[in-house]
Amino acid sequence: MFSALSSSAENYPYRSDVLWVTVPDHADWLYKTGEKAQVEVQFYEYGIPQDGVEVKYELGGDMMPADKTGSVKLKNGRAVINVGTMKNPGFRDCRLVAVVNGKTYKHHVKVGFSPEKLQPYTELPDDFNQFWQKNMEDAARCPLKYTIKPAPEYSTEKADCYLVKLQCFRPGSYIYGYLTRPKAPGKYPVVLCPPGAGVKTIKEPKRHIYYAEEGCIRLEMEIHGLNPEMSTEEFKEISSAFGNYLVNGIDNRDNYYMKKVYMSCVRAIDFLTSQPDWDGKNVIVQGGSQGGALAIVTAGLDKRVTACVANHPALSDMAGYKAGRAGGYPHLFKNYKGMDTPEKISTLAYYDVVNFAKQIKVPVYITWGYNDDTCPPTTSYIVYNVLDCPKDALITPINEHWTSDDTEYGQLKWIQKHLK
């Protein structure tokens, strides 16, 4: 289930012989409800337009079954498909298949209809804030205990890296993270980066070393208490035996696995703000997918957070499928049996990102793509729409479940502009 999150899904496959190009007749891929949309489909092999190739298509709502199918033949490598319209706000997906020389090639494109009007199916429980306030008070009783070990293999001329083991939630429960900080003496903002979904190691700790090189203390954390120094083989064994933590204890809000995860993010803020080189003012949370969800959750829980950055947040309006449209990752009501019970729906409301987003008052920056089938655009828009705070969005329609290096570096630039 986590493969879609951990793989590098791309619209333009690396070293592929073929290329799909899809061009909606609205440049921003957006329409008003009731407007009809058309998409021009182009297909190339070796850069040559493919004439006479049959392209089969199916049309349906975002993450929904097809409600129409058909086919077109390419002329000079091009054809136009009438995507239709939607009466209610949302996204419509045009899924494409072509067979060339016996090999099947697939692509898709989503267009939106008044998505700025999308609202969550998930409701805010009356005692939401009281529930989380009690959990934070309980978790705060766990002593702040940690170890820091130099990790020179991930350091640079301008930044030092350390492996941190941090006690969270209850005594004896730990998480790990890589802490990077500028070598130059001074006082710096702190940035917490929670992980994407899965039971896995922290990959490439130097990938975002530019945060520390440009004046931030940054903690990239994991959530399961697994030492990232373990081998890949050990992680694979543990992952296969671990089960799906996103459904563990879901029948009861007090026993759900993600309670420890949410409280671990708050404890990570405790750790970062205890560092002697913190500037005493700026606390930023930043992440993508599940990490984007946890960034928003932490910003909604912890009033010390001063800014939030999230890519295509997961865990958002998860019960949205009950409204007849896409719900958020992990798509519990689409991919799992027995999820539609009052107990599970009640638990999810306390853990859904949309309800934490409603609590945020600090600046938020979100980016998402329309072609994402992991964290669909329907749910990213819903999160953005419920934010009642200063907010910015970078919308990249062509993107599936990925962000470019330039987009990720641009998030640091946004953070720097929002420092106190």
Which residue numbers are catalytic?
289, 372, 401
CA distance 270 to 144: 8
CA distance 63 to 331: 9
Q: CA angle 191-350-408, nearest 5°? A: 30
Helices 258-273, 290-301: inter-axial angle, 10-degree rounding:
70
Written as six digits, the tokens of 210 are 């530019």
Report which of 200, 197, 222 is spatially closest to residue 332, judged by C-alpha positions: 197
CA distance 323 to 165: 42
Are 118 and 382 spatial neighbours (Cβ–Cβ below 8 Å)?
Answer: yes
> Which position has the token pair 């190009």?
21
Report which of 266, 269, 268, 199 is spatially closest to residue 234, judged by C-alpha positions: 199
CA distance 55 to 98: 5
Q: What is the DSSP string of 159-183?
A: EEEEEEEEE-SSTT-EEEEEEEEES
CA distance 174 to 268: 11
> In whole angstroms, how far apart are CA 23 and each of 76, 115, 400, 403?
15, 19, 16, 20
Written as six digits, the tokens of 141 are 């009783």
Neighbouring C-beta atoms of residue 66, cutoff 10 Å: 12
Neighbouring C-beta atoms of residue 243, cutoff 10 Å: 11
Neighbouring C-beta atoms of residue 9, cutoff 10 Å: 17
Q: Are strands 188-193 and 217-221 parallel, antiparallel or unpaired?
A: parallel
| Pairs from 269-276 (Cβ < 8 Å, separation ≥ 24) | 269/190, 269/192, 269/298, 269/302, 269/304, 269/305, 270/140, 270/144, 271/144, 271/146, 271/164, 271/166, 271/219, 272/190, 272/192, 272/217, 272/219, 273/190, 273/304, 274/144, 275/181, 275/190, 275/217
> In whole angstroms, how far apart are CA 314 and each of 35, 99, 139, 195, 276?
29, 33, 24, 11, 33
Q: How far is CA 246 from the centre of its chain?
A: 15
